[in-house]
Amino acid sequence: MTPEVPVPEPVLRILATLEDAGHETWCVGGAIRDALVGDPQQDVDLATSAPPEVVQRLFRRTIPVGIEHGTVGVLDEHGGLHEVTTFRADVQTDGRHAEVVFGVSLDEDLARRDFTVNAMAWHPIRREWRDPFGGRDDLTRGVVRAVGDAAQRFREDRLRILRALRFAARFGWQIDPDTWAAVVAQGRETGHLSAERVREEWWKGMTAARDPRALMSLWESSGVAEVWLPAGPADQPASTGIVPDSHDPLLLLSYWRAPVEPHLRRLKCSGVEIARGRGIDRCPVRPSDASPKSVRHWLAVAGPAADDLVTLARWRELHTDGWTTEVAAVRARGEATTRGELAVTGDDLIAEGIAERGRHLGVLLERLLDAVLNDPSCNTRERLLRLAREP
């Protein structure tokens, strides 16, 4: 029984408009693949024989999202953007960028794609499949296989190596032996890729992977990690240790690569992400002991990194004396661990004539916080004002 792919009405209208104007048009891309594995997507892409300028002429509202590569974004009546790309073939590639030519057939367009599971086309009006490379069979078998010569596919664009690893980990598939041989042969030749694209592959891959360890193991065994996430002497391979119960890309990277900040910088992560990694790196991994006082002081030092460090400690099995339980207990009791949780503010101290704005005020607030960390019962307005007046 031939499977069918649900296609949103706006996409059907765009396809019908193109075909009514005499231009062959098919649904293509990852949404077709995902629908066949039970994960239907709304962003169904279209491939067409119509040149980009014709697509722009046929539709009132368009955006040239990648017109040099033949892609025009068509806006529907609700403002949704749908990508329409002219059939194309690569004429020259450098492992990172490709020059394309238009005016080719659908089969030639599918032949330039990376993997067989991404080289299928569905025509929702005629209920017809085009699958020249056996993508549906590979979906059934759970195999990632390059279209044509795997080594050539990766020489054309080595980001495809990272995509192969991501697809395998996302769906729990195996990589075809010939495709895997090409991955290993070229995995250490990915250094010329843009750090932003590599970061995106790591983020998307870890977020979607069935088992994050599987993706990290593939990065390691393929040689990609050697280039982008080189291991230090204390780092453990992903194939060992506990199974992480999170898909947080930054936290997972912190688990396998410490300190994590240099890796985040190599991947050109955002300032917020780098600051988060720096907090993880610079804080003690755990309190000196599991006493409430030690835990409060540790929480004050850890600040925003505390939750990340608690999770990492659990993964690294560093919570045998119960300190992670005490972290939750301190929070449940509402005990202050930051200046913002004190019963007085800097403005209170100024209003009482105890301090003026400036460095002395900050030092005084830190002294009050230290007193509260040692004894939470001090955290009342009266007691803190009295402490603040003491020489």
Q: Which of 141, 167, 191 corresponds to the end of one domain?
A: 141
For residue 148, being part of any structural domain is answered with no
Exposed e or buried b per residue across 15-48, where buried means at least 16 C-beta atoms within 10 angstroms of its C-beta: bebbbeeebebbbbbebbbbbbeeeebeebbbbb
For residue 202, being part of any structural domain is answered with yes
376 lies in the same domain as 352: yes
318 lies in the same domain as 369: no
263 lies in the same domain as 294: no
Tally of domains within the chain: 4
* DSSP H or E segment with residue 121: strand 121-123
Write the CATH number for 14.
Answer: 3.30.460.10
105 lies in the same domain as 131: yes
Instruction: Read off the pLDDT of residues 363-378 as tens digits, 9 standing for 90 and up.
Output: 999 999 999 999 999 9
Res. 359 pLDDT band, cuts 50 70 90? confident
For residue 3, being part of any structural domain is answered with no
308 lies in the same domain as 364: no
Instruction: Read off the pLDDT of residues 306-329 as tens digits, 9 standing for 90 and up.
Output: 999 999 999 998 888 899 999 999
Whole-model pTM over 0.85: yes
26 lies in the same domain as 129: yes
- Listed in sequence order, the residues at least 6 apart from 239 whose beta carbon sits closer than 8 Å to its beta carbon are 213, 217, 220
The pLDDT score that the predictor gives to residue 89 is: 82
Q: Which of 90, 111, 141 corresponds to the end of one domain?
A: 141
For residue 64, being part of any structural domain is answered with yes
Res. 102 pLDDT band, cuts 50 70 90? confident
Q: Which of 109, 141, 173 corresponds to the end of one domain?
A: 141
For residue 131, being part of any structural domain is answered with yes
68 lies in the same domain as 28: yes
Judged against a pLDDT cut of 70, whether residue 175 lies above it is answered with: yes
Please state the φ and ψ torsions of residue 389, each to the nearest 5 degrees: -80, -15
For residue 119, being part of any structural domain is answered with yes
196 lies in the same domain as 137: no
Domain range for residue 14? 9-141
29 lies in the same domain as 83: yes
16 lies in the same domain as 135: yes
